[in-house]
Structure 1
Amino acid sequence: MSQLFMPLSQDNYELSLQGPQSPATQLQPQPEFLFAAATSQVSHLADVLTLISAIDRHALMIISQYGITFFLEYNHILNAQVSVDASLFSAFEYHWLGADLDGNFSENVPKNVQLGIDVHRLTDAFAAAAATVVPRLKKAASAAGVDTVLCYIKYRGDGFPLVVEFEDRLMSEQIEFSTFHLDIDFPYGDENPELQSQPDHSLTIDHSRLQFEVILQSDILANMLQDLQNLNTEDLFVFVSNKRGVSGPNHVNFVSKGAIGYLKLIFPSARTMLQKLEIYKDSEGEPVQTTDSILSTLGFLPFIRVFRAVKLLSKCKIMKDFNGVFLIQLLCRNTAAKSYPGTLIAFNMLEKSEIGGTGQTVDIDIDSLFDDQVYQVREYNDNPHEGATASREVQENQVFDSNEPFSYAAFRRRPSNSESESKRSRMEGETGATGSTETPLFL
């Protein structure tokens, strides 16, 4: 009887070598690489994979001695990188057959393995396995103990599937995911992603040429992104400034441009919500802190793809370099594993270039369209006779007569220098009769 179906599991491949080999069996690839990992943190991996599944369906999976990295790209203007450290796994075996007993690699052996996977199918598998623990946790008081779902991940190199096995007290499930070649250049090459410097042509942040760095609360940013999405935002302007204004020295504003016009959302500047804001200038290849304002233009369609990740995490770091690369960095901590430092998630995106611009400049200052730029804080001199302070009426006259951008102040009635004789006499008569001027309800 001919072998009509090939064995599904590659674990049976070793057993088939003991007996007579068929021509189909001889054509199977020989394993040159062995990887195996085990962990009980299935819910954490399910959350991490869910955060990046909105970027693209296909992902590049990089396995190295430092851990597992997932890299996705969207239209060459947005990429996402998730770095899962090896300390999350209770057992982590990474071994090339060409390496010696000490784990030292030869010059011809690569330092990592890259394979293409369907991240949507992988996410569904981990989400289904994590969901089986939830009903048992609700009955933990009556049960003898809470069951733990164990996960085993195995891979043997090119030509072999990615094997993921879930096991608990009741059953064991093994799933094989097809692997393929994915034409995506991993910007960190064959070295440790945390140590290698980024090349200039890749879509990664250049830390040596930072333009600004902001750390803020993710839950507030998620609420703002939800409002911007409901308004059908087309372009998003991010205004960052450390100049002292009406509300304080630090400002992070999100300006939406859509079918209804412009809408400005002001991020709270309290220290607990806006923890860090630093702006740099390029000085001989090294960033130096300065006081300035920066306006960045982003397409909202790729930007909203990070909404799911921002919504589930607590803190968010936003950075931008002088090359126009915008970075959103998130740290996903695992409460079940106290010693685990956390899974790092990074979203790199390109700034949107205006027509006729250079990609870094915008022809109009969007932030100055609103009233908070019309009213400014005045610094009074110690000697009041050195300079007279203009009244509010004079300031309003200056707003109307200047060429400032259009604002709500233009709707105010221009103050009149001359009053009618009838109105002045009527007001004087009322003052003489009652001793005080009656303020009318409606002007």
Structure 2
Amino acid sequence: MHVYPTELVDLIAQRWHGPSASGATEAEQAVDNLPGTTAMEQLISTCYQVSMMREEDRSVTLRLILAEPGLFPPDQGPPKGFLRILFSTPRSFNEYELRRLSPAVDFERSLIGIAPHPDKGFEIWGLVNSGIRWLQEERGGNKKTNQLPDALVVHVTGPGMLTICRGLKIIATLNSGRLLDSTANAFQSIWMNKLFAEERELMLKMHEDFRASVLYPVARIQDEFIERLQFQLLKRVISVTRMSRHGGTFIIFPGAEPPELSVDNPHIQLKYRFLRDEAIRRQQNLMIRTIRLATTALGDINDPDKIVTWKDYVELRHESAVYDLEEALYEQAQFIATLASVDGAVVTTSRGVVGFGGMIVGPLDKLTEVAIASDVEGKMVTLAKIDGYGSRHRSVYHLCNAIHQVMAIVVSQDGNVQLAKWRNGIVTCWDLTSQMFIGDN
């Protein structure tokens, strides 16, 4: 039995009985309760041990699901269902068997199926081919997502990195020995909502002017809809950067033309600065086109003040025009993420990219520690010395310390993501994983 702290198992038990994110029917939710504490410690510890292993000089990554094979009909498969394949003889559940199986189980497309065993604790009964639609909320896409049963799912994403889910709903994440609570997702914070509020207000005004200028019915839109568009683009940029495995730094100014980005800016030296013409405003234009398309398609002459929600827009995604806009937004995210391949930071505003290859300059001696947040608003924090971080992170901390309105995102080569922002009198950081974004919308 591996020795492993019980904090993660305790957190799983506390959060397990929260509302499901899958929207499954009552029959689909008819899964057994979690195993007992001892069995859960064995399961989590085994997953942790395999995360520290390597298979043919590669880190082990995999997903496994604790569910009886009967939950998956034998005549289904991706993209709309799950293809479950049974082993003729179940395999032992241990870190060595998981390591050997991992090359055959593509993290994005398949899971290892396990079930309780009266004598052995657990056994591996086979594989489940899920397809990749479950990743759409993170990476973009307009297809209906095939929902996993409300069963325990463990993502092994790298050394010491585990994400625990109930179906697609994130419960907790372990990253390098530290528990990351998925409720500390900064994208759900009030402060981030306010950071981009000025741009949303502008787009709301532009939409009302558009409604007043046309003769056909156009529905209204809410601030929340535009916020979803803004955050979807940012999440996709992070996801693409993680997948590239080259890392990157993104400096985000909330305003359209912040004075801190003048040519003689003492904090950021941009090697490649873009000309501010119509092409740079494409990001904003794509969002405006998305709003107009959704509100025009759902406009009702009998209900002139009808409000279109994000859910309404999702239902429209099968339309070809919506599909094209979705693809355009995804390509915009790809473009921004690729700029991070060059040394230096990618610098953006609310409306688009300013430039890339940005060098953050200035002394760091005035900053010795940052606050690591454990809640969305950054009120519950622990202090950490910046000496323990790399130069990329330390330069970002310096910038946030010097320019309080800026927000910075650092994506490490190993896939870790950290967001930094001046909050409550100190540079505050949120450790994120892209899995936190799955099922968030």
Q: Which TM-score band (shorter chain)? A: under 0.3
Query: What TM-score, normalized to structure 1?
Result: 0.26
Name the one with the larger helix percent: 2
Query: What TM-score, normalized to structure 2?
Result: 0.26
Name the one with the larger strand percent: 1
- Which has the higher relative contact order, 1 or 2, with Cα contacts under 8 A spaced 6 or more apart? 2
